[in-house]
Amino acid sequence: MLLAWQAPRAQELPVPVVGHADDVARLAGVWEGGYTSDETGRHGTLRFELTAGDAHAVTRLVMVPVATPEDPAPEPVVLTLHLVEVDSVTVRGVLRPYDDPEWDLPLETHFVGTLGGDGITGAFDSLPTSVDTIPTSGRWWATRQRPLAPEL
């Protein structure tokens, strides 16, 4: 995971977290985890920070593309969340469209997961915005590292 934290830094924009106040409060804290796709071989890390009482999170999501003969050491790519929704123990959302590193065509990724205590596990689907690519899927996970209290 160290490689992903050395990836290029992107401006961390606040991401709206939508849901009933009690449901959003369940997500308060610093979360770290990752994702993988057996279909593409891609993997990456994620970090999600939500302060209790806030309706926006700060996130960092890094994708590590698969090495190829043409590019044996591809650069990690920073991805951006667009929206996170929480309903009871279900967490779902969507990433901002990004260019698939293999096809260089835009993809849109949707994710859903189940919150259980200090852990979330789920799945994602990356859908092509063009007919020239094949949808892919994978799994993701995150663990709460520590709570974040409201700022005074």
For 133, the domain range is 2-144
150, part of any domain: no
Residue 52 lies in a domain: yes
* Burial 82-120, CB ≥16 within 10 A → b, else e: eebbbeeeebbbebeebebbeeeeebbbebebebeeeeb
**Residue 124 within any structural domain of the chain:** yes
Q: What's at 124, amino acid-wise?
A: F
| Residue 5: its H or E element | helix 2-5
pLDDT digits (tens, 9 = 90+) for 7-35: 444 456 789 999 999 999 999 999 999 99
**Residue 135, both tokens:** 């949808």
Q: Could you tell me the CATH number of the domain that includes residue 21? A: 2.40.128
In a domain, residue 152? The reply is no
CA 48 to chain centre: 8
Asked whether residue 149 is domain-assigned, the answer is no
* Amino acid letter, 107: L
Quickly count: other Cβ atoms within 10 Å of residue 77's Cβ: 19
Residue 104 structure tokens: 């260089």
Q: Name the DSSP class of 56.
A: E
Domain count, the chain: 1
pTM: 0.82
- Contact present, 136 and 47 (Cβ < 8 Å): no
% of residues, the chain, pLDDT over 70 = 88
Model confidence over 58-85: pLDDT tens digits? 888 888 888 888 888 888 888 889 999 9
What the block records as the tokens of 36 is 């993988």
Q: What is the mean pLDDT of residues 79-106?
A: 90
Helix (H) or strand (E) holding 24: helix 21-25
Task: Examine residue 151 and state whether it is found in any structural domain, yes or no.
Answer: no
Say if residues 27 and 116 touch (Cβ distance below 8 Å).
no
